[in-house]
Structure 1
Amino acid sequence: MGTRLQGKVAIITGGAAGIGEAISKRFALEGAAVVVAGLPDDPVREVVDEIKASGGQAVGYLGDLSSWKLAQECVKLAVDEFGKLDILINNAGVFIETNYLTDYSEEAFDYMIRHNTKTTFLMSKAALPELQKTHGNIVTAGSEAGVLGIPQNTPYGGTKAFNIAFTKGLAAEQAAFGVRCNVVGPGPIDTAWTHKETGPMDAKMEKTNNQAVLTGRRGTPEEVANVYLFLASDEASYVTGALYMVDGGITIAKGPAGDQADSFFKKQPKEDLKLQHSMDGHTSIRE
């Protein structure tokens, strides 16, 4: 057990699958009491049990946080269980369709707006009164897609661009209350979203993604969680309004750079979080 978040209380939305599971477990191992929040069919209870079995503190919250009532309820749970709130991680999001815009479904667009942007807005709004009391912080999920714009992912990139601009504005606004706000921008990460068998990408997109990364491989959920940990910790006390890319260099790459990557870069680092749900996640439209 580490101490980088000792005594802190954190809510992690989308906290039971993919990157969210890694954030929840990393924070718990560093001493935080965590609220693992997810939709009703997410493996929230499993992740909470796994954290407790490793000696950490955790409770689960099941509900659609694009509802104002449920967003408030989730924040109240954190305060009721642990006495305060120091950190909000806006990780919840969906990636459910790849298509040219002329064929992109309105249903998928509406679903992404609801889960990628409205949840970020409502959870931030609900958490801020508590975060102002503790001089806490918010870390929100952006994406390389929100910086570059990606063909056949244009609506998804638009939702992530919202999160980036929203967070920068929030950082400027909330400095008066002692609350820091930052964004993490993952590139292609080894979750259900980036595999053709479990997500919306086809084989060509999957191959192109890996070729476009300077390191020549997907990142791991744990590698992303480590950056969330830094930004949420007191080590980042002078960091606010920042966008930290965790993208293997994809946003500066030219052509199939990954094909030329050194074998050292292509090997994923050894992990220690015992992740069980990296390949779970919302890659289809579910109510």
Structure 2
Amino acid sequence: MITGNRLKDKVAIVTGGGTGIGEAICKKFAQEGARVVVAGFPDDPVAKVAKEIKEKGGTAIDFTGDLSTMADAQSCVKLAVKEFGKLDILINNAGVFPEVNLLQDYSEEAFDYMIKNNLRSAFLMSKVALPELHKTKGNIISAGSEAGKIGIAQNAPYGGTKGFMHAFIKGLAVEQAQFGVRCNLVGPGPIDTAWTHASTGPMDSKMVKTMKEATPMGRRGTPEEVANVYLFLASEEASYVTGALYMVDGGITVAKGGVGGQADSSMKDEPDGELKLKHSKEGHTEIRE
């Protein structure tokens, strides 16, 4: 059901839109009046998310492909323009988290997989989308990470890819302002998705416990809490915001030591939220061909 108009008449592409934070962004944007292209890999539940949006009265279509290839990146943008007549917002949310390991043991396969899906897809989607965003004076919001700001042990290459994204979006913001395009980044900390559970991702139970203890708020964030920040940056409310890195991390990037146990009980309780998310734990962490 459309409950707001903060993105009324806007058209958005959300990469990695089928699961985790991406699902929340798609549903939040649709709830605020946007027409959404839910983009992802062929085995992601992008069609299900688009269907769930339409069942609630929103407008969405799905796109499947490998957005790290020029052909699929072009096809995704062309689909948005063909179906909805324009493109206002590009969300570079897609990314992978395939391995946790010390660098001396980190596989070349996992490193190459991250370069392809964390960097190349965002580069190509931004490159292809910009001519359309120039027409609408639109905006790009990319996914960073706490790891891109402070680094992360046993995930040094992942943090490196996100550090690239932090610098990339700042550079885009400066060069694209002349065309009326804003560019920002959202940097999640530990979020309640498949990536941060030992049963569904590469972290072990000790790492999960340490992660929560290192977060001043003493818990994971929810996908909807992250989507709320994407919504603000995509909306006209952020008209004077470009080149910004918004950390949605429960304070983990400024924490010193295991402070999570000291958090007030009101901070440890996850908000109920409004979105009915069905795919938040379905995000892939293994390497896919």
Q: TM-score range by the shorter chain?
A: over 0.9
Matched residues in 1 for 2:164 and 2:123: separation?
10
**Gaps in structure 1 of 5+ consecutive residues:** none
Matched residues in 2 for 1:4 and 1:26: separation?
10
Aligned twin of 1:8: 10
Aligned twin of 1:138: 140
CA-based RMSD of the aligned residues comes to 0.4
Instruction: After TM superposition, give the deviation of residue 271 of structure 1 in Å.
Output: 1.4
Aligned twin of 1:69: 71
Aligned twin of 1:262: 264
Q: Deviations over 1:196-234 (max 9, x none)?
A: 000000111100000010100000000000000000001
Task: Return the letter of the residue paired with 2:145.
Answer: S
3-state DSSP class of the match of 1:89? strand
Counterpart selection for 2:129 from 127, 130, 155: 127
Runs of 4+ in 1 over 2 A off after TM superposition: none
Q: TM-score, normalised by structure 1?
A: 1.00
Aligned twin of 2:43: 41
Aligned twin of 1:93: 95
3-state DSSP class of the match of 1:34? strand
Matched residues in 2 for 1:221 and 1:206: separation?
17
Matched residues in 2 for 1:259 and 1:119: separation?
38
TM alignment of 1:20-59, pairs within 5 A: 20-59=22-61
Aligned twin of 2:198: 196
Aligned identity (percent) is: 72
Task: Return the letter of the residue paired with 2:260.
Answer: G
Q: Deviations over 1:60-114 (max 9, x none)?
A: 0000000011101000000000000000000000001000000000000000000
Matched residues in 1 for 2:245 and 2:133: separation?
20
Q: Does 1:108 align with 2:71?
A: no
Q: TM-score, normalised by structure 2?
A: 0.99
Aligned twin of 1:221: 223
Counterpart selection for 2:282 from 254, 275, 280: 280
Instruction: After TM superposition, give the deviation of residue 272 of structure 1 in Å.
Output: 1.3
Task: Return the letter of the residue paired with 1:15.
Answer: G
Aligned twin of 2:273: 271
Matched residues in 1 for 2:115 and 2:197: separation?
23
Matched residues in 1 for 2:259 and 2:278: separation?
31
Q: Deviations over 1:225-272 (max 9, x none)?
A: 000000000100000000000000000011111011000000000111
**Gaps in structure 2 of 5+ consecutive residues:** none
Matched residues in 2 for 1:236 and 1:265: separation?
26
Instruction: After TM superposition, give the deviation of residue 282 of structure 1 in Å.
Output: 2.0
Task: Return the letter of the residue paired with 1:249.
Answer: G
Q: Does 1:174 align with 2:161?
A: no
Aligned twin of 1:205: 207
3-state DSSP class of the match of 1:251? helix
Matched residues in 2 for 1:35 and 1:104: separation?
35
